[in-house]
Structures are given as structure tokens and as C-alpha cells.
């Protein structure tokens, strides 16, 4: 059942069957007795093609493309060279000698074209082509090692705050591997965390491309990043303050995640005192609710009795939720005002006069 549900496997099976039938049909066209022989040859050829097609899953697309280009260049060279070979060297018949020379040149130069292309594949990069085809109008974001290990970029991608092409240079990936293989336990943990986050980034950003070009004249990864950014006109994503300063000297734009986090810090902090208008009651008993100028909700303990008035409060905690921020505060005089009165009333320690004074405030 799993085989039937696999469209690729079904296509391979049909290809083998149809090729075998075509071979039988061609053989019968020549001589009826040759039908089975042609069918067997066609079956063998079809199986070879399927095996070759399956093998392409192991080899990278880049190497397949390079091998094809190398073979094409080799065949073009063979086309110009084989006429220079004297036919009589290979055969007494001129036509037969030319055919053998052509076949021999095609084999030799085609083979050398493929081998040379594969042996020097590290010197050729299609990352620029991938970058251009992905989206030519958007600026490339080049990932630094520090921002990968930090991990907050994953959250930015999940919330669609980062647009454009993400480029992971090969030398940054190599640096992550070196950190992950470090003898130092802390460095090794950081490196493995970075590799794990890369897998998650790849799921969130399908357009993440690995830039294979290296800069062997530069030993420092930071300077390689700057050179790559200048070459592409891209932006460097990093948490490294020193890299940011050096890149800015080279007129390279840097997106520092730490700076973004500082900008997005809460406008209030724990212990800050402020004046809040209590607009309505809260969900819990004795709570009042007010709002900051930006619309942030402020939950005020013991603030229910002060609805409709302005209260001096002290921030006690800040809660960040997917829907926004919530600020929790208490009245600056809560220790001696209504909070103490209510707690004392609960213990039966408030006089009738105090309770009489309390009731009108509760109606407000």
C-alpha cells in the first residue's frame, strides 16, 4: 500500500514497463523473433536509468548541474578536436576512422569535463544565482554566529518581523561546527544549541540559502562577513557589538538583535511610581484597572474602591503576554489606606464609625 501511495515509485514502475513494451514493439517491427531480445535490452536500459535517477538523490543538485555543464563543455571541445585526428590512424576506412575518432574524443573530453567540474566544485558557487532568483528586490540578511546561538532570531522569523533572503555563509557554519566540537563543555553546548536552532530556522525560513563562497585571504570571520555584505549590498544580523562598530566603519548596515531588544523594553519598570486614573474594577476582588498612555493595562491591587479617581501607584511586576503587556501595581499608600481598612474589617477590628465611613467609598 505504501508503494502504491508513492507517486514517484509508481512513475518509475510505469517507466520500466512502458520502456520494455516499446522495446518489444520495436523488435517485432524488425523481426518477430527479435521481440523478446529487444524487450530484455529495453528492460535493462530502463533499470539502469532508474538506478541512475535514484543515485541523483545522493549527489547534490549543484554537483549534478556542474557535471552536466562540464560534460557539455567537453563535448563541444571534442567536436572541434576530432576532425584534426587522421582517420587512417584508427581505421583503413576513412568514414569508419572519423566515426571512431569522434566517439573517442566524446568519451575522453566528456569524462574530463565531468571530473574537472566535480573536483573543483568548491571554487564555484551558485548562491548568488539562488539569491537573485529568490527575490531580487529584497536585501539579503547575512547571519552571524552570535545571532544563531542567541536564538531570538527564531522568534523574529516566527512573527514575520524579518523579510528578505536569509544567507548563511559557509564559513559561519564551519565556525559553528568548530564550536560544537570544542573540548570546552560550555562552548560545545553553545555550538550544539546553534546547530539545533539552525534546523528550526530552516523550517521557519524555507528561503534560507547557504553562501558557499569563501574569502581565503581573510582569516577572521568578522571581516569575511563584512566583505560578503559589501559584495552583495546586504545586511549583517548579529549580536556582536564590536562587529557592528567595525562594519559601520565599512559602511555596512548591521541589524543588532540586542539593540532591538533594548528599544522594545517596557516603558515602565518594577518599583517605578506613577499616577494612574482608575477606570474600572478588575476581575479579582478589590482590584482596579487603569491604562497607560500607550493603552497598556495597569492592574491596581486594592484599587477597586478608588474607581473614578487618580491614584499614585508603585509598579510591582510586569507580565508579557502574546496579546501585549500587563502591569501590576499597588497604591503607594496601600499600607495605611483602604487596603488596611478592608483587611482590618475582615478581622473585625474596625469600628462602626470607620465602617460607616467606608461604605460610601465602596459605592463609588
CA distance 166 to 131: 9
CA distance 318 to 300: 12
For residue 335, what pLDDT is reported? 55
Query: At residue 78, does pLDDT exceed 80?
Result: yes
Q: Say which range, 11-20, 158-167, 187-196, 295-304, has the weakest mean pLDDT.
A: 158-167
Strand partners, 148: none
Specify the CATH class of 127-263 in words: alpha beta
Query: At residue 341, does pLDDT exceed 50?
Result: no
Is the Cβ–Cβ distance between 301 and 331 less than 8 Å? yes
Residues 152-207: tens digit of each pLDDT: 888 888 887 777 778 888 899 999 999 999 888 888 998 899 899 888 888 887 67
How do the domains of the chain map onto residue ranges? Answer: 2-123, 127-263, 273-363
Domain covering 273-363: architecture: Beta Barrel (2.40)
Cα→Cα distances 50→8, 9, 130, Å? 11, 10, 28
For residue 358, what pLDDT is reported? 35
For residue 268, what pLDDT is reported? 79
CA distance 31 to 292: 93
Select from 107, 197, 209, 97 the least CA-distant residue to 156: 197
Is the Cβ–Cβ distance between 241 and 254 less than 8 Å? no
Strand partners, 276: 311
Amino acid at each position: 500500500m505504501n508503494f502504491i501511495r508513492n507517486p514517484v515509485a509508481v512513475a518509475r514502475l510505469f517507466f520500466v514497463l512502458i520502456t520494455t513494451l516499446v522495446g518489444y514493439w520495436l523488435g517485432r517491427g524488425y523481426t518477430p523473433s527479435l521481440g523478446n531480445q529487444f524487450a530484455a535490452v529495453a528492460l535493462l536500459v530502463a533499470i539502469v536509468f532508474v538506478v541512475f535517477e535514484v543515485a541523483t538523490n545522493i549527489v547534490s543538485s549543484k554537483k549534478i548541474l556542474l557535471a552536466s555543464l562540464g560534460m557539455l563543455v567537453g563535448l563541444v571541445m571534442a567536436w572541434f578536436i576530432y576532425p584534426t585526428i587522421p582517420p587512417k590512424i584508427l581505421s583503413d576506412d576513412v568514414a569508419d576512422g572519423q566515426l571512431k575518432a569522434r566517439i573517442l574524443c566524446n568519451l575522453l573530453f566528456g569524462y574530463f569535463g565531468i571530473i574537472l567540474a566535480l573536483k573543483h566544485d568548491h571554487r564555484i558557487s551558485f548562491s548568488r544565482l539562488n539569491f537573485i532568483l529568490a527575490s531580487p528586490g529584497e536585501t539579503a540578511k547575512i547571519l552571524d554566529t552570535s545571532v544563531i546561538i542567541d536564538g531570538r532570531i527564531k522568534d523574529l522569523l516566527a512573527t514575520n518581523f524579518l523579510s528578505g533572503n536569509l544567507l548563511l555563509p559557509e564559513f559561519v557554519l564551519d565556525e559553528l561546527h568548530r564550536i560544537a566540537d570544542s573540548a570546552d563543555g560550555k562552548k560545545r553546548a553553545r555550538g550544539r544549541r546553534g546547530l539545533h536552532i539552525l534546523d528550526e530556522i530552516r523550517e521557519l525560513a524555507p528561503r534560507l540559502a547557504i553562501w558557499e563562497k569563501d574569502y581565503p585571504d581573510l582569516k577572521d570571520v568578522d571581516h569575511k562577513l563584512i566583505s560578503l555584505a559589501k559584495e552583495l549590498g546586504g545586511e549583517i544580523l548579529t549580536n556582536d557589538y564590536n562587529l557592528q562598530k567595525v562594519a559601520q566603519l565599512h559602511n555596512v548596515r548591521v541589524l543588532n538583535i540586542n539593540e532591538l531588544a533594548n528599544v522594545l523594553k517596557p516603558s515602565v519598570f518594577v518599583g517605578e511610581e506613577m499616577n494612574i486614573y482608575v477606570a474600572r474594577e478588575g476581575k479579582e476582588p478589590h482590584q482596579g484597572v487603569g491604562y497607560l498612555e500607550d493603552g497598556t493595562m495597569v492592574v491596581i491591587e486594592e484599587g477597586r474602591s478608588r474607581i473614578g479617581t487618580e491614584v499614585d501607584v508603585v509598579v510591582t511586576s510586569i507580565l508579557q503576554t502574546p496579546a501585549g503587556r500587563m502591569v501590576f501595581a499597588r497604591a503607594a499608600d496601600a499600607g495605611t489606606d483602604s487596603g488596611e481598612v478592608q483587611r482590618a474589617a475582615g478581622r473585625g477590628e474596625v469600628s462602626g464609625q470607620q465602617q460607616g465611613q467606608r461604605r460610601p467609598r465602596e459605592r463609588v
